[in-house]
Structure 1
Amino acid sequence: MPLLNPKLARLQAALPRFLKFRLSRIPIILLFLFSGWAFYRYLSDPTNFDIFDALGLYTEEDYYDPHLYEWHKYPGAARAGDHQDHAAHSDGKKAASALAKPIGPGMDEIGEHHSQDGYVNYTSGDGLVRGWTLEGRSKKNVGKRLTHPIEELMRDNKQRWEDLLKRQSKSLEQAVKEYKRRYGRLPPKGFDKWYKYCVDNNVKIIDDYDQINHDVEPFLALSPTMFNDRVNDLAVAPFTYHVSIGPETEPAISGERSGATRAKQFLNLVSPLGPDLPRNIPIHVSDHDLGSWILGSDQRGLALMRIQSVMKKDGTGLNNVKYLAGAELKRLESKNRNEHRGWFSACDEDSPARGKDRAMENRLRELDGLPPLPEPATPAFVKDVRPGFDWCQNPATQKLHGTMSFDFPRDTVMRPIFVLSKHMRNNEFLFPPMEAYENATDATALKKYKPWSEKTVNKIFWRGTSTGDSYSKRKSDPDYDWRRQHRPRLHLMAQQEEGTKDVWLHRGREWIPENWAVKKLNEHYLDVGLTGKPHQCNQADGTCDEMAAEIKFADRVAPEQAAQYKYVLDVDGNGWSSRLHRLMTSGSVVIKHTIFPEWHHDWMTPWVHFIPMQVDYSDLYDIAAFFIGSPEGRVKGRDDLAQQIAEQGRKFAMEHWRWEDMQAYTYRLLLEYTRLMAEDRDAWSFGTEFIGDGIEEEPVVAPRGQKRAARVEREQ
């Protein structure tokens, strides 16, 4: 055999080792390439907002402004640094309009954006998600609906709840700085004792009290003298009771409604707090189910501008506010301050309630020779309940909810009265109602609880009386129909036997719409009905007789029996629903709609602790089909996810809706109320030593509307 070239010999010897090395690395190389491809596909999906935001590739976020009580689409590039410089404000109407204007896409963008197919889209104006995420990764499944929007909502909102719990302050210093970061001012005097109360009583929510700020902040634009005068004027207000507490007085109650059960419950709640308050205070409380005085966008906008324009980096400046007074305040508090009367007089000029709604936009498009806006994509589910509280952004609520059916001119005087329940745009102080509250571990409450495995009825249950409106024939409103109001409408929907309805059902691996007889849907999914007889109706004009003839009233069901049902509805009555706490501790899933903010709504998370539904109940059958299954019973629903929500809801009630949690909320509210009474509000603040000069602290995010208001002022 001829001798090989020495170089070739060495190459021949090294070749097996080389091939062995390369072949052993092939799986790793393939895994690396596949991971890169998968990551690219993930980034290509516009629904993956979290990774976009983390990498700085997505420049918009849903921004909640605790001052305006609104959700906005907010550009990430302007998140910080714009809070400090605000021009002096002279024309309240223009500046308030700019401040209160919701941020978001224009009407054309909304129509086109909602109709896009292929992913779920959230809109901040109504809190709904619309559409469906279509499968696009596999040729076999491309374009198919494999993942239900409810699964995405549960995933996203679970993360929201977990993030809320994780971010709570762990020290007094952190709590002070977080308060300052959120609201631009120092917390009130006594905040240190409040924090100690929370720690001592295992109150887990320390920072998220935006409802209190929403109620209190506008009153900082009234002088202490005027605020105290208005407090004193309430001493003779009708249908009220009056409580006195403080470190130097014994708890006392007086007034027309002082003997009412609610008055005694309130006294029991606040009496233990008196010794730790900074001073003695009078508290005036309405015993009505619902507050009725409103605060207009122009009023709130100007008040917030006056306050926020003078706040310093160290959180002081409350004494420098140019207070609302004289002719300016008289104009703002006049029922005739704009051409609208009633509920919509509170709305901004270009809000859907007063400005260009969808119907008007389509008329304008027709005149311009343009096609109408595309219909919003379906299905639609509630992601966040808070935007739905605002009737200015959702004017259809006024026709669908009985508590808004009387649209007479509303008082807009800022009055510091405490109420059990209120609309979002009311100007009173909301406190936790104790009505129907039960300690979930008491023997009586335990009789109304059944674990999921022991529940025997796989239906949606509700019973209630025909409260929620005063039903009558109305010459001033010939279009009014009692059948359209929220409680009768729910009953008549469940009683309906004619017609069909499209419902999204799981067939094979895919979700598809099918048309079903409404009678069959009601039989399979619902056990819903009004009880007793017509209530709160006009006998003389025949309304009561109409209701008696058309409504098949159902029998009452005791709470112990209702606990057999896996699903329970909770809807408003004359105000908030007092049964919610009992329902959440029953072990059943609560399906809920309300137009009233409640003291805990900053915490209680949709799709984690309860299932939200729309004001028109249009999503109820789709909710039922997802959790209960198909109407003919052939395909089972996601019973496991329903059980998860039921158990998390009960856990929420037992850990965050205790007597101590209601006291913590009320205690913090009373500290804010006490500072409003102080002649020197800066001196009645707490935490200067934790803030310093404020330079090291991240500035409060300025809403874009606030910056527009400042520009309006500069242009004048």
Structure 2
Amino acid sequence: MALVSAPALNSRFTSLVAAALCLIGVLWFFVPSFDAVKHLNVPGLHHPTPPPPPSTTSTTISSSAGNGLPPKPNHPIDHLIHQAHADFDTLLAKETHNVHDAAQAYRDRRGRQPPPHFDAWFAFAQNHSAVIVEDFFDQIYHDTAPFWGVPAQQIREQANGFLHRISVRGGNVTQRTDVEGGRVWMDLWADMVRSVAEFLPDVDLAINVMDESRIVVPWEEIDGYMQTERASRVIVPERELKTYYDGLTGLDRNPPSEAFDAEFSGMGPYWPLAVVGCPPGSAARKAYIETDFTTPPPLDGQFPAGSYEGYVQNWTLAKSPCDNAALQGLHGTFVEPISIANTKKFFPLFGGSKLPMNNEILLPPAMYWTEDPFYSGGKEHGRAWEGKKDGLIWRGAASGGRNKESNWRRFQRHRFVAMVNATSVELAGTGEQAPVNFALPGNNSYDLAALAGTSDSAADSSTSGDGSSSGSTTSSSYTTLANWIKSWSNAAVVHLLCFPEDPHPPYCSYTNPYFAVARAMPMAEQYAYKYLPDIDGNSFSGRYRAFLYSTSLPVKATIYQEWHDSRLAPWVHFVPMENGFADLYGVMEYFVGFGGGDGDGGVGGHDDVAKGIAMGGKGWAERVLRREDMQVYVFRLLLEYARLCDEERGVMGWREEPGG
């Protein structure tokens, strides 16, 4: 079709019009919508203004997100998303663009002068297009602050004497471990440190080579160190600053006479060891200690503590075992971890993740540094949102600890897979097979459309596998729920990891009646689905960064802390989920909707909102979770750590030159 007909125009003008139309056509092809433009990864582009809450009265949803039905009005998740965007914009407004402002932001937030070489760190960050917000580095100070209460010599000698060690001397990196040829994670961490070693002072890093966290110091002891740290905060006048680091050649000439003994112990269970790191008045410290895990998990069907109408509004609280004592019977870390090597001795041990009550110093995980597609997802991160399957995919081993016949009902991955298995939900709902490791939403506290509008007189099924009942939900309602789950769920374990492992069929007699093993699925295949749940294994999930980089939407449940927590916002970059998964069905109904049928009511989903979070998270990950951002974090961390190791740390700092 001719868009322009202008025979009277001269040839010069006609050529200009044709060129303009060609350019418009090219732009139309590559930029399909304004929403997509908002999430383009353009260096220097700030986070877009948060959208208004999704319309709940007149929006028409596509057939893949609720069969054209309108969504529920005033959904709690609408509020959470809108508030999260507003809070995140407030955070981003703190971004600094020159070393003077960055140093002042440091003083305001940390109460002391920035460490020596702060200007070199800032230049490195700026030259690598890093987003520099002081709050993004809060984890460093959470991890290192207690060491202000420990003598510098003690820190140096403990790190130097630990068996697994990465060292920097004069810009060169070496490592020591107990395995000939090295350990993969040690190699990766050494390479990470080596990438910024030319800028670093001399340091020794003791490394945790286990999956599990290893240090839990009693809260009262850490509180004492923190009181010392707070008392030491002072903005030392610049003329009095020591602006350089002492080397460690003296320590190398006269090392400790004996190797450092961290006094690790393998005696469990882990929960009593962990809760000593919680505040005295916390729920975990006051809770009854469970020893019998043969029963179904402690799920009462109530809204999680601190939630907003059942959904996560405080991500820190939702992840905290100290504040959620029921986690001792809901997570394999506390039920029976693969291994325990725990100590109450406080020393500088670096690792990739930890529980909130652990005392390790976090590095970006080694598996985030690797190019292995198993963790990185490879170079491709998924097709366009509209071409994906409108459902959830999960594949993984039934890890989380040592699952046995006497305790497997309490493991988080087993529970998740059972909850999104339509057959297990229907059998539980009709009373044919009690839900041995999860709870049905018997009182429909999340107001699920799949559980509303029925009049079947069948008795309500037990909600937690113990024969009890609550609410008035009918068995036909659960059949409806199961059919709805079937429409969007594809979850299975790829290895049951039973203990002890049976080399002969049926391989795992105690879980075979409940789980069918599926083939492993490469991450690239998983990207064909819109929703990617991410569930803890033996520790944190090493796939999380790759999921954030994808064009799919991560749905995250965890009890672990990582280096990047201060720079990722729930409901903006990913969807948070509580660790009992009570909110799982509500989250999925919000996004995929429920089409109804057979006289049941339906409700529309929020496919557009899901896409916005997925694309926003991907764009943000490409700005703040790059390998370059890990380098910036490690550079900053090791400047702070090296200062802690210096005898004159109280007067050390960066001196800002006049006019600089």
Length-normalised TM-score, structure 2: 0.69
Query: Hey, what does 2:116 align to over in structure 1?
Result: 189
Per the TM alignment, residue 267 of structure 1 is displaced from its structure 2 partner at its CA by: 2.0
Q: Which residues of structure 1 form unaligned runs of 5+?
A: 1-133, 136-143, 320-332, 358-372, 474-479, 508-512, 692-716
- 1:676 aligns with one of 634, 644, 648: 644
Q: How does 1:143-292 map to 2 (within 5 A)?
A: 146-208=73-135, 209-234=137-162, 236=163, 240=164, 242-246=165-169, 248-257=170-179, 259-277=182-200, 279-292=201-214
Per the TM alignment, residue 585 of structure 1 is displaced from its structure 2 partner at its CA by: 2.2
- 2:219 aligns with one of 260, 282, 297: 297
Per the TM alignment, residue 690 of structure 1 is displaced from its structure 2 partner at its CA by: 8.8
For the pair 1:483 / 2:409, whether they are aligned, the reply is: yes
C-alpha separation in 1, matches of 2:241 and 2:287: 37
C-alpha separation in 1, matches of 2:515 and 2:279: 39
Q: Cα 1:514–1:405, aligned 2, differ >3 Å: closer, same or farther?
A: closer
C-alpha separation in 2, matches of 1:374 and 1:422: 26
Q: Is the contact made by 1:469 and 1:536 (CA closer than 8 Å) also made in structure 2?
A: no
Per the alignment, in what secondary structure is the counterpart of residue 251 of structure 1? Answer: strand
Q: How does 1:274-673 map to 2 (within 5 A)?
A: 274-277=197-200, 279-314=201-236, 341-355=272-286, 379-406=309-336, 410-435=342-367, 445-455=378-388, 457-472=389-404, 481-495=407-421, 496=424, 497=426, 498-499=428-429, 501=441, 502=444, 503-505=446-448, 516-517=477-478, 518-531=481-494, 533-535=495-497, 537-539=499-501, 544-630=508-594, 632=596, 634-673=602-641
C-alpha separation in 1, matches of 2:276 and 2:154: 24
Q: Cα 1:578–1:426, aligned 2, differ >3 Å: closer, same or farther?
A: same
| Residues 455-509 of structure 1: CA deviation (Å, up to 9, x unaligned) | 1x11111110011111236xxxxxx6211211111122223232163253579xx
Q: Cα 1:629–1:602, aligned 2, differ >3 Å: closer, same or farther?
A: same
Q: Cα 1:310–1:293, aligned 2, differ >3 Å: closer, same or farther?
A: closer
Q: Cα 1:309–1:447, aligned 2, differ >3 Å: closer, same or farther?
A: closer
| Residues 62-85 of structure 1: CA deviation (Å, up to 9, x unaligned) | xxxxxxxxxxxxxxxxxxxxxxxx
Per the alignment, in what secondary structure is the counterpart of residue 393 of structure 2? Answer: strand
C-alpha separation in 2, matches of 1:663 and 1:152: 36
C-alpha separation in 2, matches of 1:575 and 1:449: 26
Q: Is the contact made by 1:439 and 1:658 (CA closer than 8 Å) also made in structure 2?
A: no
Q: Cα 1:259–1:310, aligned 2, differ >3 Å: closer, same or farther?
A: closer
Per the alignment, in what secondary structure is the counterpart of residue 445 of structure 1? Answer: coil
Per the alignment, in what secondary structure is the counterpart of residue 215 of structure 1? Answer: helix
Q: Is the contact made by 1:311 and 1:318 (CA closer than 8 Å) also made in structure 2?
A: no
Per the TM alignment, residue 446 of structure 1 is displaced from its structure 2 partner at its CA by: 4.2
C-alpha separation in 2, matches of 1:584 and 1:256: 34
Q: Cα 1:679–1:669, aligned 2, differ >3 Å: closer, same or farther?
A: same
Q: Percent identity?
A: 26
Per the TM alignment, residue 334 of structure 1 is displaced from its structure 2 partner at its CA by: 12
Q: Cα 1:405–1:565, aligned 2, differ >3 Å: closer, same or farther?
A: same
Larger radius of gyration: 1
Letter matched to residue 343 of structure 1: A
Q: Is the contact made by 2:265 and 2:342 (CA closer than 8 Å) also made in structure 1?
A: no
| Residues 658-704 of structure 1: CA deviation (Å, up to 9, x unaligned) | 1110111111111111111111103432247799xxxxxxxxxxxxx
Q: Cα 1:175–1:424, aligned 2, differ >3 Å: closer, same or farther?
A: same
Per the alignment, in what secondary structure is the counterpart of residue 650 of structure 2? Answer: coil
Per the TM alignment, residue 250 of structure 1 is displaced from its structure 2 partner at its CA by: 2.6
Q: Which residues of structure 2 form unaligned runs of 5+?
A: 1-55, 58-70, 243-263, 289-301, 430-439, 451-471
Per the TM alignment, residue 206 of structure 1 is displaced from its structure 2 partner at its CA by: 3.3
Per the TM alignment, residue 314 of structure 1 is displaced from its structure 2 partner at its CA by: 4.1
Per the TM alignment, residue 335 of structure 1 is displaced from its structure 2 partner at its CA by: 13
Per the alignment, in what secondary structure is the counterpart of residue 592 of structure 1? Answer: strand
Per the TM alignment, residue 398 of structure 1 is displaced from its structure 2 partner at its CA by: 1.7
Letter matched to residue 387 of structure 1: L
| Residues 324-354 of structure 1: CA deviation (Å, up to 9, x unaligned) | xxxxxxxxx9999xxx942222222221122
C-alpha separation in 2, matches of 1:220 and 1:375: 36
Letter matched to residue 302 of structure 1: G
C-alpha separation in 2, matches of 1:569 and 1:689: 50
C-alpha separation in 2, matches of 1:374 and 1:259: 47
Q: Cα 1:550–1:301, aligned 2, differ >3 Å: closer, same or farther?
A: same
Per the TM alignment, residue 307 of structure 1 is displaced from its structure 2 partner at its CA by: 2.0
What is the Cα-based RMSD across aligned positions, in Å? Answer: 3.7
Q: Is the contact made by 1:504 and 1:625 (CA closer than 8 Å) also made in structure 2?
A: no
C-alpha separation in 2, matches of 1:256 and 1:374: 47
Q: Is the contact made by 1:625 and 1:631 (CA closer than 8 Å) also made in structure 2?
A: no
Letter matched to residue 664 of structure 1: V
| Residues 288-323 of structure 1: CA deviation (Å, up to 9, x unaligned) | 11222113321221111122124335489999xxxx
Q: Cα 1:452–1:411, aligned 2, differ >3 Å: closer, same or farther?
A: same
Per the TM alignment, residue 547 of structure 1 is displaced from its structure 2 partner at its CA by: 2.2
Per the TM alignment, residue 405 of structure 1 is displaced from its structure 2 partner at its CA by: 1.8
Q: Cα 1:636–1:146, aligned 2, differ >3 Å: closer, same or farther?
A: closer
Per the alignment, in what secondary structure is the counterpart of residue 547 of structure 1? Answer: coil
Q: Is the contact made by 1:243 and 1:253 (CA closer than 8 Å) also made in structure 2?
A: yes
Letter matched to residue 202 of structure 2: N
Q: Is the contact made by 2:553 and 2:574 (CA closer than 8 Å) also made in structure 1?
A: yes
C-alpha separation in 1, matches of 2:272 and 2:332: 18
Per the alignment, in what secondary structure is the counterpart of residue 134 of structure 2? Answer: coil
Letter matched to residue 387 of structure 2: E
C-alpha separation in 1, matches of 2:501 and 2:370: 36
Per the alignment, in what secondary structure is the counterpart of residue 309 of structure 1? Answer: helix
Length-normalised TM-score, structure 1: 0.64
C-alpha separation in 1, matches of 2:366 and 2:595: 39
Q: Cα 1:581–1:249, aligned 2, differ >3 Å: closer, same or farther?
A: closer
C-alpha separation in 2, matches of 1:356 and 1:569: 30
Q: Cα 1:308–1:658, aligned 2, differ >3 Å: closer, same or farther?
A: same
